[in-house]
Amino acid sequence: MNAIKFKIDINSELMRFGKPEIYSTELVLNELEKLSKKSSEGVNAKLCLEFLKKVKIIKSYAKNADKELEFLSDKFIVCTQDRELVKKIKKKNNKVVMIRQKKYLIMV
């Protein structure tokens, strides 16, 4: 959602890391659907949902999106701004893509 909020071209930024396949999870979609009904974050969540219609969706087996993304970080590079999740993924020596300076993406 932050990439949309800051008007970052996600596709071109991700191309700097190669030609990635983009995935999302059912839990992330569910969270975005809930947020889309809130007035303060609704517009960005709706735009995010539109973007995610073009990506592959991974069936969720966890009850918590952060725990699921932490688990999936063993096989995938996770894109997130959640600092606690970043710490957990980095502790496992896995890669994370984050927004820097509200302008571009970096891999840490």
Domain boundaries, position 12: 2-107
pLDDT band of 92, cuts 50, 70, 90: very high
pLDDT band of 40, cuts 50, 70, 90: confident
Average pLDDT rounded to a whole number, residues 14-42: 90
For the chain, the domain total comes to: 1
**CATH number of the domain bearing residue 53:** 3.40.50.1010
Secondary structure letter of residue 105 according to DSSP: E
Residue 55 has a pLDDT of 94
Q: Which residue has the tokens 């959640």?
A: 82
pTM of the model as a whole: 0.86
Judged against a pLDDT cut of 90, whether residue 82 lies above it is answered with yes
Average pLDDT rounded to a whole number, residues 92-103: 96
